[in-house]
Amino acid sequence: MAHMTQLPTRENIAPPAPRPALTTEPEDAERAEGLRRMRRLATGLLVLAALVFLVTHLFTDLTGVWGFVARASEAAMIGAIADWFAVTALFRHPLGLKIPHTAIIPRKKDVLGESLSNFVAVNFLKSHTVAPKLRKAEITRRAGNWLEQEKNQAIVVERAGQGLEYVLKRVDDDAIEGITRNVLVPKLVSTHKSPVLGRLLQEIVQDGAHHRLVDLVVGEAYVWLANNPRVIDEIVAQKAPDWVPGFLNDTVSNRLRKEVLGWVAEVRDQPYHKARQALDRWLLELAEALKSDTTIAERAEGVLDDLLRQEGVVHSVLEVWASLKRLLRGAVLDTEGEVHARIRGLLAQIADRMVNDVEFARSMDDRIARAAGDLAESFGPELASVISDTIAGWDAREASDRIELYVGRDLQYIRINGTVIGALVGLVIHAITLILPRI
């Protein structure tokens, strides 16, 4: 008895997990009233057919016109009851009787949800159905019309600023330091950098982007030499023998200073000076050497690796990041600043093109349509599974009531049609029974 299984009681039975409740729309009250009205009409026709049937059978001899009335009411009752049973069997057990193949939706809601999901995926979420619909929607033009309004431009800029501010708040200095120290620097050290440096140097020289730097260096060199004449005097004095007279050193210094300043001035003032051309040739040769496996490339790699391993590199990156973060946050918070104004101006230009450039709008619509069509084609089953997953999460009884609320009003027309058609069929059958014996 010690090992007897404990019987379940209210205390040890866990309550069932609550099912997700269905949402209620404001229009549901109107739908419910429409459903009740149509039910009353369909039921009223059934009651009317029954009353006519009783009256004709109790108070007439069922001959002549009364025969037609009696048979029409009888057939109308049969049609009304049959269609009532069919409609009711979709949502519940008629009269509470658990007749086979009734309460179809509560019992089969998961299967119906899966079938509906597959139907939507196969017939609707396809590229050839989605893409044309999106092309007709003219998304680009409509978006341009929305973006043309200044208040909407301000909304876009504000939302973008809030997103950037959100990112900046969540990226701290420790994370940047860790990425720099543990990821960025090791990756740069392990990368073969000299070919990249060689190609970069070659592009700079061929584009002439270094000429301004050369102009700056030569110009500053000329100013410095002109302002420091004693430098050349000291060099000459140090290199000259002790027995050379002082006046001779001064003569040489003055002459050398004049020649050096003149040569530097020529380099400064002549864009195609031989010295500049020689520098360009040397830089191009250096670039070729860096792109190849040469000793210069190896030495450059070593120098760059030593520089990258210095602790100051990490600190420099952190300082740059701090400055950049301050600038970005300042630009984001200053809604009347130049950055916001420029972005709004750019949005206005984009909106104008989206509205007025027909070819551009058509091209963008086509790209959007093709992209959406491809996505629908690729992820159609996953998207459509929202239907089956949602229906599977519904309570069976509540789901049935909800579906009936949406489609039950139209289904009542089946009962009305069944009553009317039944009456007509009853008339035809009674007429045939009267005609056949006379043939």
Q: Report the mean per-residue pLDDT for the chain.
A: 83
The residue type of 363 is S
* Whether 315 contacts 185, CB under 8 Å: no
Lowest-pLDDT range of 29-33, 52-56, 96-100, 227-231: 227-231
User: Rounded distance, CA 14 to CA 5, Å?
Assistant: 17
How high is the pLDDT of residue 53?
Answer: 94
User: Rounded distance, CA 421 to CA 345, Å?
Assistant: 69
How high is the pLDDT of residue 241?
Answer: 63
* Whether 366 contacts 131, CB under 8 Å: no
Show contacts of 21-26: CB within 8 Å, 24+ apart.
21/395, 21/398, 22/394, 22/395, 22/398, 22/399, 22/402
| Contacts of 302 by beta carbon, 8 Å cutoff, 6+ apart | none
User: Rounded distance, CA 315 to CA 31, Å?
Assistant: 68
* Res 383 pLDDT > 60: yes
How high is the pLDDT of residue 211?
Answer: 87
How high is the pLDDT of residue 19?
Answer: 46
How high is the pLDDT of residue 236?
Answer: 65
* Res 296 pLDDT > 60: yes
* Whether 76 contacts 49, CB under 8 Å: yes
Task: Kindly report the number of other CB atoms within 10 A of residue 209's CB atom.
Answer: 10
Q: How confident is the model at residue 18 (pLDDT cuts 50, 70, 90)?
A: very low
User: Helix or strand or coil: residue 346?
Assistant: helix
* Res 11 pLDDT > 60: no
- Answer left, alpha or beta for residue 95, where phi above 0 means left and psi between -120 and 50 means alpha: left
User: Rounded distance, CA 16 to CA 393, Å?
Assistant: 14
How high is the pLDDT of residue 388?
Answer: 85
* Res 17 pLDDT > 60: no
How high is the pLDDT of residue 7?
Answer: 37
* Whether 296 contacts 198, CB under 8 Å: no
How high is the pLDDT of residue 245?
Answer: 65
Reading the block at residue 398, the tokens are: 């509540």
User: Rounded distance, CA 364 to CA 368, Å?
Assistant: 6
Lowest-pLDDT range of 41-45, 118-122, 282-286, 312-316: 312-316
* Whether 370 contacts 150, CB under 8 Å: no
How high is the pLDDT of residue 38?
Answer: 93
Sign of the C-alpha dihedral computed for residues 250, 255, 256 and 258 taken in this order:
positive
Q: How confident is the model at residue 21 (pLDDT cuts 50, 70, 90)?
A: very low
User: Rounded distance, CA 189 to CA 308, Å?
Assistant: 7
Name the residue among 164, 139, 158, 134 with its Cα closest to residue 347: 158
Tell me, what DSSP letter sits at residue 181? Answer: I
How high is the pLDDT of residue 402?
Answer: 84
End-to-end alpha carbon distance in the chain:
86
pLDDT digits (tens, 9 = 90+) for 163-216: 888 887 777 778 888 888 888 888 878 888 888 888 888 898 888 888 888 888
Q: What is the pTM of this model?
A: 0.51
Q: How confident is the model at residue 239 (pLDDT cuts 50, 70, 90)?
A: low
Query: What is the average per-residue pLDDT within 36-64?
Result: 93
pLDDT digits (tens, 9 = 90+) for 66-91: 999 999 999 999 999 999 999 999 88
Name the residue among 233, 249, 229, 232 with its Cα closest to residue 241: 249
How high is the pLDDT of residue 423?
Answer: 94
How high is the pLDDT of residue 5?
Answer: 38
Sign of the C-alpha dihedral computed for residues 241, 243, 244 and 250 taken in this order:
positive
Q: Look at 63 and 1; give whichever has higher pLDDT.
A: 63
Q: Look at 289 and 6; give whichever has higher pLDDT.
A: 289
User: Rounded distance, CA 48 to CA 45, Å?
Assistant: 5
* Whether 429 contacts 71, CB under 8 Å: yes
- Answer left, alpha or beta for residue 138, where phi above 0 means left and psi between -120 and 50 means alpha: left
Sign of the C-alpha dihedral computed for residues 360, 362, 365 and 370 taken in this order:
negative
Query: What is the average per-residue pLDDT within 384-395?
Result: 84
Query: What is the average per-residue pLDDT within 350-364?
Result: 92
* Whether 401 contacts 110, CB under 8 Å: no
Reading the block at residue 62, the tokens are: 């069922």
Q: How confident is the model at residue 364 (pLDDT cuts 50, 70, 90)?
A: very high
**% of the chain surpassing 70 pLDDT:** 89
